[in-house]
Structure 1
Amino acid sequence: MVQRWLVEETPQGTIGREVQIIDRPDRIGALSSPLAWKILHELAKAPDYPNALASRLKVHEQKVYYHARRLQAAGLLEVVREEPKRGAAARFLAPTAEAFAIVLKGRGTPMTSPMLPHAGIVTQFLEEFSHDGRFAGSIVVGSPYTHGPFNTTSRDSPYAVELGFFLGRLFGLPKGLVVRLDTEVKAQGAEKEDLILVGGPVANIITMDLNPHLAVNFDWKQVWRMESSRTRKPYSDEQVGLIAKVRSPWNAAKTIVLLSGLHAVGTMAAILGLTRFAEDVLDGYTPGEDFYRVVAGQDRDGDGRLDAVSILE
């Protein structure tokens, strides 16, 4: 069964309800009786068993049993628990979703989600990572074990949790795991799928392999810095982060999104820019073209944590 979310604006605030799509006409038939309709609404208030529900509705229990069986067969009601009642097991019923809907064929109307104001912008930016509404690709983080030419462990990886919370509001989960270690991707080949890389070239060896192909890249030969071949500007502040989207140099049919920084705090700035300030950060993005945005993290409320970004390039 296909499930979606219904978002309602109420005087008390925004309310979300899980919606189950009714995809067969026989399921609608189970709701054709006014009593069946009333049963569904009553059980949405609180689960109950048919005998007790019949008393609440002041109707014969056989009528309640009849419609309850039809609603169960249609997938609109389910047994949520059993309790002993008068020597028998009473089956408590409840709706299988908080709302039901029929979706007609058509393109629908593009809109911005009230739950995530810039969802449309980010969804377009990450369009290659969506397949039938589910996330398609891998989030690659640096290994927590000592690895790579710098013989280091990743301090950027925990920030992928922030990214994961955000992406979970845009995409459904695929069957397999989404997060992979850089060492794993290195061993199996980075050309096989679309990748979101978290962390700079010291923490993430896939970022290191990608670095020579970037128009804004990391340079550690003289001093640890980021340099743009487009503007010739160098960046050396530890809070500087890079948001980039490029075609994979190993497979032109695949896409790589890079969220990285000169240091771990710079990676956090890049993730913050994408997840909280996408309208500004992604302004000017053109599908099909390489994209680079250099940001600097800011702590405006002085609590020691980044809460804003400024755009440097």
Structure 2
Amino acid sequence: MKMFVVRRGKDSLESIETVEFTPNINPIEKKIISLLIRRSMYPREIAKALNIEQQKIYYHIRKMEKMRIVEVEHISRKDILTKFYRLRAPSFLLRVGEFEPVNNITFLSKKKREFLKPFVENGRINTKIVLGSPDPHGALSARARDGYYASDLTMFLGSFSSFPPKPCVVLDTEIKNLEQNMIIVGGPIVNRIAEKVNNRLPIFFKNKAIYSKLTKIFYKSDNCGIVVKTKNPFNRKKYIMIVAGIRSQGTRAAILAFLQRFDELCKGNEKNEKVYAHVVQGVDKDADGVIDFVDIIE
């Protein structure tokens, strides 16, 4: 099992891989540590507990203080000036390498990190989440009804963030800069930005259905949705992710895929694992009219 030490840097969390080892320290110092790990003590008290000369204890305490193993917790001035010592920490690090930025303290496999990058990077949300407007808009004067589903997606992404995010949710009628990372929620009928990028996707919406350029298959169920990550056509240095369905229940299924099938989403399409493009299908398992389970069907 791997072990990491994590520290908070100026702009991100940083970590370094480590292993446990027992340093070659003096046996008396080991005994002092075993006492101080329980509570703070003063040198004369330590000497009495270990049945060792007080001057020897003072010597080792000063040595350990220089090594930054112990520190003064407080000073008592009741009858005589007495320094109480404690361990600086319950563990210590001998570092020879450099810390590196990490997403957060949650372990993520390489595949998961690659899938989330650059939307979540170095512990920060680095994307706009574009929702369809609930007001009539677009050529068909459509109203988006799937915006509240996005709360599950934002909470999911937030679980990988280590810092308070800046406002990142915007409506398709309000966003001006399309040359940035974007997670687009909802299909081309209810989301103008989805409409602009739709035909450039490896799996896209066509004739009220979903069509896969990878498998040449049409998917027509209203419960079907897509999760596609690809380069932003407006700026090839940035990325977009489409999380959308034929209807609102398909969008819900696409969002549920993050919560229930994230490992499979991160593997890429079965026809080409380098392409992050999937078709999902929602299932109402308990027959209450709400999608509560999702299968990845491509």
Shorter-normalised TM range: 0.5 to 0.7
1:212 and 1:305 map into 2 onto residues whose CA distance is 30
Alpha-carbon distance between aligned partners in 1 of 2:159 and 2:92, rounded to the nearest angstrom: 21
Q: Which amino acid aligns with 2:291?
A: L
TM-superposed deviation, 1:254: 1.0
Q: Find the residue that maps to 1:266 and give its secondary structure.
A: helix
Aligned to 2:192: 205
Select 1:291's aligned residue among 272, 276, 279.
276
Contact 1:121 1:278 in 2 (8 A): no
**Offset at residue 148 of structure 1 (A):** 1.3
After superposing the two structures, state which structure 1 stretch, 129-138 or 251-260, moved more: 129-138
Deviations 1:204-233 (A, max 9, x none): 11001111112221123xxx2111222221
In the superposition, relative to structure 1, how do residues 247 and 264 fare at CA in structure 2: closer, same or farther (>3 Å)? Answer: same
Shift of 1:266: 0.6
Tell me the equivalent position of 1:189: 177
Aligned partners of 1:246 and 1:289 also within 8 Å: no
- CA distance 1:202–1:173, shift in 2 (3 Å): farther
Q: Distance in 2 between matches of 1:295 and 1:288?
A: 16
- Please give the alpha-carbon distance, in whole angstroms, between the structure 1 residues aligned to 2:203 and 2:275: 11
The 5-angstrom pairing of residues 1-313 of structure 1 reads: 2=8, 32-33=70-71, 36=73, 104=95, 105-106=97-98, 121-173=111-163, 176-185=166-175, 188-191=176-179, 193-220=180-207, 224-284=208-268, 289-313=274-298
The alignment's TM-score, normalised by the length of structure 1, stands at: 0.62
Counterpart CA distance in 1 for 2:82 and 2:291 is 61
User: Which secondary structure does the structure 1 equivalent of 2:239 belong to?
Assistant: strand
Unaligned runs of 5+ in 2: 1-6, 15-65
Greater mean alpha carbon deviation, residues 255-264 or residues 209-218: 209-218
Gap change, CA 1:288 and 1:31, over 3 Å in 2: same
**Counterpart of 1:227 in structure 2: which amino acid?**
Y
Q: CA RMSD in A?
A: 4.1
Give 2:48's aligned residue.
Answer: none
Aligned residue identity for 2:170: R
Instruction: State the secondary structure of the residue aligned to 2:258.
Output: helix
Identity of aligned residues (%): 28
TM-score under structure 2 length normalisation:
0.64
CA deviation after TM superposition for structure 1 residue 283, in Å: 2.2
Give the total of aligned pairs. Answer: 234
Instruction: State the AA in 2 paired with 1:237.
Output: S
Q: Is the 8 A contact 2:138 2:192 kept in 1?
A: yes
Give CA deviations for 1:50-105 in whole Å, capped at 9, x if unaligned. 9xxx9xxxx88x979x99xxx9xxxx9xxxxxxxxxxxxxxxxxxxxxx9986954
Unaligned residue ranges in structure 1 (runs of 5+) = 6-27, 40-49, 77-98
- Alpha-carbon offset, residue 147 of structure 1: 1.3
**Aligned residue identity for 1:2:** R
Deviation at 1:131, TM superposition (A): 3.9
Q: Which moved more, 1:128-137 or 1:255-264?
A: 128-137
Structure number with greater Rg is 2
SS at match of 2:199: helix
Q: Distance in 1 between matches of 2:92 and 2:185?
A: 39
| C-alpha contact 2:203 2:213 (8 A) present in aligned 1 | yes
Amino acid at match of 1:311: I
